[in-house]
Amino acid sequence: MAVETVTLYTIEDLQDLEGDFELDRGVLVPLNPPMPRHGRVLGRVFRKLAEFVDAHALGEVFCDCGYALERKPDTLRGPDISFVSAERGRLEDDHYPDGSPDLAIEVRSGGDRRGQIERKVGQYLDAGARLVWLLQPKQRTVLVYTLEEETVTLRPGDIPTGGDVLPGFEWPVEDIFP
């Protein structure tokens, strides 16, 4: 009987590979280019969040920034949008930061499997994220995750807030999805 060996990659190995990947405990996770709906929601949310964060000097907002959530084996994830508070200081330009952003936002695409998304959400929270939003454009819902509370599903008519991560930030669900 043949034994299958699995190659575990490190974050440093990714620099030598062609294509876009994340790492899940050393295993390559290929990333597919998103569809227009995903990009439309992503751009809309990024603009709104960045305007708020800049106006209140709260920190930095990123699109597709990678975070080293775990080492040995390595887990590298890149939320669609992330926020890092000013208290944490400016991130180094040429290194993946260790740990999660304060807020990680994922926009669910057609090819995303629920179990895979929930795994990513759990990894963000385990690595220190204080708030995770999963935006589901097809369902027009926002799932809100924290370590302290049960997952909350928000629908049109509800208003997600930034809680203690982004005090004062509010945006009605129906305005998130064009």
Asked if 11 and 96 count as a contact pair (C-beta separation under 8 A), the reply is: yes
Q: How far is CA 147 from CA 21, 23, 94, 140, in A?
A: 27, 23, 30, 24
The DSSP result for 78-106, as a single string, is --SEEEEEGGG-PPPTTSPPBS--SEEEE
Asked if 69 and 100 count as a contact pair (C-beta separation under 8 A), the reply is: yes
For every one of its 178 residues, what pLDDT tens digit does the chain have, with 9 covering 90 and above?
A: 667 777 899 999 998 888 899 999 999 999 888 889 999 999 999 999 999 999 999 999 999 999 999 999 999 999 999 999 999 989 999 999 999 999 999 999 877 788 899 999 999 999 999 999 999 999 999 999 999 889 999 999 999 999 999 999 999 999 999 7
Q: 33-176: CATH homologous superfamily?
A: tt1808, chain A (3.90.1570.10)
Q: What are the tokens at 157? A: 């008519």
- The 8-class DSSP code of residue 70 comes to E
- Whole-model pTM: value is 0.93
